[in-house]
């Protein structure tokens, strides 16, 4: 059952006329007849969890929003999708911009935000124009601006481009950047719900989360909550990439098994050239990599499913996370050391430098991984790497530190022999051309 991409194939759906003709903006009509608290209640009932990576319950986040008398509140849409392997929000904004705008209007009404912002990744250079056109169309048709649909509610949506820094996807860095400052994460608490944009109460939600508010209002929170498995309700967009026959963006039910997702023709269509599956990072580069045996079955021997609980079953000893849904597949030719080095370089480059464990640790890990990859590794480097990542995790201002530590920890945990091989075969490691999947 598709809730978000159901109409994605319809010609012209990017534009208002076709979008409206196929049921667009119905949720706004319905929402404007409800009270803001009733809408929050529907979102709570739906069990929707944040689709940016952390999976925090959306209704709960909304109910944390402070409402001091006379202080404006803001909704901010986090469209700074920069997690390597993740491109599902780009797809939504590019092909279904009105779905996001519709979700933003309903959510703005529920939260009392008269000025709502979309903060979009700088590299998505062509998308702000698409969003701005959709906003203009919505405004021309009375869905935005003053007194929308004669409801007495005023709402404007502004699009702000980021400068291309991964850290600006962290909600408080994003807020700093929106305020015109350097994108350094703030210490939490206070959470944005209490003191966010210009220190006003602010909700920051991911693009997919806000788009999901549309089907929730249309079908009712309870019905939405019935879809899925356990605390994974509704559907999820996955961006699949790496060594796959059919990479792309898929809307999946939460009871789909990992094996079906990778191998069935309806989804990724298996691995090219008959190669074997070696490993997978199912939730964007920050979540732990899993080898095939742990990926396809959990620690109880059950088929792993594509949902929050099943993917994390067993903790990090045997499990991983659904994260942002950036599903990266590696075939048997891929080198885990090279891959981990590539990610370490990324996190080192993107660290904002505020905290020592992250600033120093990410650079140190990259240096050691580069040595191992290029045949200059020492036996003791593997334990040193383990020690460094352990000292970063949990000791930093924002989750980028954990995001840099987890891939290194998981690579050593599950592929230690590959690190040892690079150290024992230094000469061959320098010259042999291992693969690096593209994502």
Q: Which of 323, 377, 401, 407 binds ligand L3W (CB under 6 A)?
A: 323
CA distance linking residue 241 with residue 344, whole number of Å:
19
In the complex, the smallest distance separating the C-beta of residue 185 from ligand SF4, rounded to whole angstroms, is 4
In the complex, the smallest distance separating the C-beta of residue 318 from ligand SF4, rounded to whole angstroms, is 27
185 binds, options ligand L3W, ligand SF4, none, Cβ within 5 to 8 A by partner type: ligand SF4
The helix/strand count (H/E) of the chain reads as 19, 11
Q: Which of 42, 171, 251, 313 binds ligand L3W (CB under 6 A)?
A: 171
Residue 306 near residue 252, CB atoms below 8 Å: yes
Residue 374 DSSP one-character state = T
Q: Which of 195, 398, 411, 437 binds ligand SF4 (CB under 6 A)?
A: 398
Residue 325 is a binding residue for ligand L3W (CB under 6 A): no
Q: Which of 232, 286, 307, 318 binds ligand L3W (CB under 6 A)?
A: 286
Rg of the chain over all Cα atoms, to the nearest angstrom: 22
Give start and end residues of each alpha helix (H) in 270-324.
292-296, 308-312, 315-318
Residue 373 near residue 423, CB atoms below 8 Å: no
Residue 274 near residue 396, CB atoms below 8 Å: no
Residue 136 is a binding residue for ligand L3W (CB under 6 A): no
Q: Nearer to ligand L3W by C-beta: 24 or 192?
A: 192
For the chain, the residue count is 439
Residue 281 is a binding residue for ligand SF4 (CB under 6 A): no
Q: Which of 337, 358, 365, 405 binds ligand SF4 (CB under 6 A)?
A: 358
Q: What is the dihedral of CA 339, 345, 347, 352, to 10 degrees?
A: 180
CA distance linking residue 61 with residue 3, whole number of Å:
22
Q: Which of 111, 277, 280, 397 binds ligand SF4 (CB under 6 A)?
A: 397
CA distance linking residue 263 with residue 273, whole number of Å:
13
Residue 185 is a binding residue for ligand SF4 (CB under 6 A): yes
Q: Which of 56, 272, 356, 432 binds ligand L3W (CB under 6 A)?
A: 56
Residue 324 is a binding residue for ligand L3W (CB under 6 A): yes
Residue for token pair 């929402």: 31
The CA-atom distances, in angstroms, between 145 and each of 16, 113, 133, 139 are 16, 12, 14, 6
Residue 88 near residue 208, CB atoms below 8 Å: yes
Q: Which of 110, 148, 355, 437 binds ligand SF4 (CB under 6 A)?
A: 355
In the complex, the smallest distance separating the C-beta of residue 22 from ligand L3W, rounded to whole angstroms, is 27
340 binds, options ligand SF4, ligand L3W, none, Cβ within 5 to 8 A by partner type: none
**Which residues of this chain interact with ligand L3W, rule CB under 6 A?**
50, 52-54, 56, 61, 64, 81-83, 86, 169-171, 191-193, 204, 283-284, 286-287, 321, 323-324, 399, 403
């Amino acid at each position: 059952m598709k809730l978000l991409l159901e109409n994605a194939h319809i010609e012209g759906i990017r534009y208002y006329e076709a979008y409206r003709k196929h049921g667009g903006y119905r949720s706004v009509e319905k929402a404007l007849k409800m009270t803001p608290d009733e809408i929050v209640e529907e979102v709570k009932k739906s069990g929707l969890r944040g689709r940016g990576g952390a999976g925090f319950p959306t209704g709960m986040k909304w109910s944390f929003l402070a409402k001091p008398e006379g202080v404006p509140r803001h909704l901010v849409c986090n469209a700074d999708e920069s997690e390597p392997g993740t491109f599902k929000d780009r797809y939504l904004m590019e092909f279904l911009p009105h779905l996001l705008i519709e979700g933003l209007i309903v959510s703005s009404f529920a939260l009392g935000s008269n000025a709502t912002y979309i903060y979009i990744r700088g590299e998505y250079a062509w998308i702000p124009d698409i969003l701005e056109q959709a906003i203009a169309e919505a405004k021309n048709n009375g869905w935005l601006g003053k007194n929308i649909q004669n409801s007495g509610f005023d709402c404007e949506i502004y699009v702000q481009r980021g400068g291309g820094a991964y850290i600006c996807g962290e909600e408080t860095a994003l807020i700093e950047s929106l305020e015109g400052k350097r994108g350094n994460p703030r210490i939490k608490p206070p959470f944005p719900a209490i003191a966010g944009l210009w220190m006003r109460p602010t909700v920051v939600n991911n693009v997919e989360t806000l788009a999901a508010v549309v089907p929730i209002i249309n079908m009712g929170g309870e019905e939405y909550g019935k879809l899925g498995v356990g605390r994974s309700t509704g559907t999820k967009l996955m961006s699949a990439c790496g060594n796959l026959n059919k990479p792309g963006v898929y809307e999946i039910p939460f009871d789909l098994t990992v094996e079906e997702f990778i191998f069935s023709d309806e989804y990724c269509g298996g691995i090219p050239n008959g190669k074997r599956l070696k490993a997978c990072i199912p939730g964007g580069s920050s979540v732990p990599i899993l080898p095939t045996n742990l990926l396809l079955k959990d620690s109880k021997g059950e088929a792993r499913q594509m949902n929050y609980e099943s993917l994390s079953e067993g903790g990090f000893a045997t499990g991983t996370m659904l994260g942002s849904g950036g599903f990266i597949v590696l075939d048997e030719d891929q080198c885990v050391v090279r891959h981990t080095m590539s990610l370490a370089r990324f996190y080192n480059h993107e660290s904002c430098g505020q905290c020592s464990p992250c600033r120093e640790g990410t650079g140190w890990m990259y240096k050691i991984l580069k040595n191992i990859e290029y045949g200059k590794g020492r036996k003791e480097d593997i334990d040193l790497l383990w020690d460094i990542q352990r000292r970063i995790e949990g000791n930093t201002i924002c989750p980028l530190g954990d995001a840099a530590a987890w891939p290194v920890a998981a690579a050593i945990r599950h592929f230690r022999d590959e690190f040892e091989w690079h150290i024992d075969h230094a000469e061959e490691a320098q010259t042999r051309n291992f693969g690096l999947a593209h994502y």
